[in-house]
């Protein structure tokens, strides 16, 4: 979790001031009693309201709570926002453990055009052969898959490469747009509720 925490911190430091303010607004939206801390109850309500039920397990709250005081300060809560926005909220398909660090993924499912989803498992399940998946599955750790993705993209003709890059950038722009729109709706709701 520490590597993910450092990544979230570095990401936050590089955000423009406008985006940092949006992150603070998200924190305030979670902090219903305005005490500057997010309780487990506030955390659960926020996630359920935003339909992010896969992160509602108490073990994730405890993992986010770095100082183990039973609540989340802004830095700890920003890690949650980072996990939500970056798509890093992955769980082992075998034991359902949250995977904040390295994990293994079936490369056929990852790269398969007709594959409906990916198949990720934690290091313990992979190393202990505690998983059931299709025959002849080839597993790679997430960093190896990233490198393979880059190699495959560079091997593609420039026109196809540009199309792939545009497809990757599109969801990123959509996430940023949706985040801004949600923040605007929250602002309007706060004005109406006041």
Closest CA to 31 of 85, 74, 82, 75: 74
Check if the beta carbon of residue 90 is closer than 8 Å to that of residue 120. yes
Instruction: Calculate the dihedral angle through the C-alpha atoms of 30, 31, 37, 42, rounding to the nearest 10 degrees.
Output: -60
Diameter of the chain measured on Cα atoms: 60
For the stretch 46-77, pLDDT in tens is 999 989 888 988 889 999 999 999 999 999 99
For the stretch 87-141, pLDDT in tens is 888 999 999 999 999 999 999 888 887 777 889 999 999 999 999 999 989 999 9
CATH topology of domain 2-89: Recoverin; domain 1 (1.10.238)
Rounded distance between C-alpha atoms, residue 45 and residue 41, angstroms: 6
Q: How many C-beta atoms lie closer than 10 Å to residue 158's C-beta? A: 8
For residue 65, report the phi and psi dihedrals to the nearest 5 degrees: -75, 80
């Amino acid at each position: 979790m520490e590597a993910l925490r450092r990544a979230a911190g570095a990401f936050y430091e590089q955000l423009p001031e406008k985006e940092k303010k949006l992150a603070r607004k998200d924190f305030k939206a979670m902090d219903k009693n305005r005490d500057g801390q997010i309780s487990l109850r506030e955390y659960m309500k926020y996630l359920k309201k935003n339909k992010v039920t896969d992160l509602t397990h108490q073990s994730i709250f405890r993992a986010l709570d770095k100082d183990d005081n039973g609540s989340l300060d802004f830095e700890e809560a920003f890690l949650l926002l980072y996990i939500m926005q970056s798509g890093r909220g992955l769980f082992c398909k075998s034991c359902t453990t949250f995977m904040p660090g390295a994990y293994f993924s079936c490369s056929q499912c990852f790269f398969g055009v007709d594959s409906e989803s990916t198949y990720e498992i934690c290091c313990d399940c992979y190393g202990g052969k505690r998983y059931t998946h299709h025959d002849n599955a080839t597993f790679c750790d997430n960093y190896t898959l990233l490198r393979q993705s880059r190699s495959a993209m560079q091997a593609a003709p420039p026109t196809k490469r540009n199309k792939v890059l545009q497809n990757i950038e599109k969801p990123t722009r959509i996430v940023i747009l949706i985040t801004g729109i949600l923040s605007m709706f929250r602002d309007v709701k706060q004005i109406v509720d006041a």
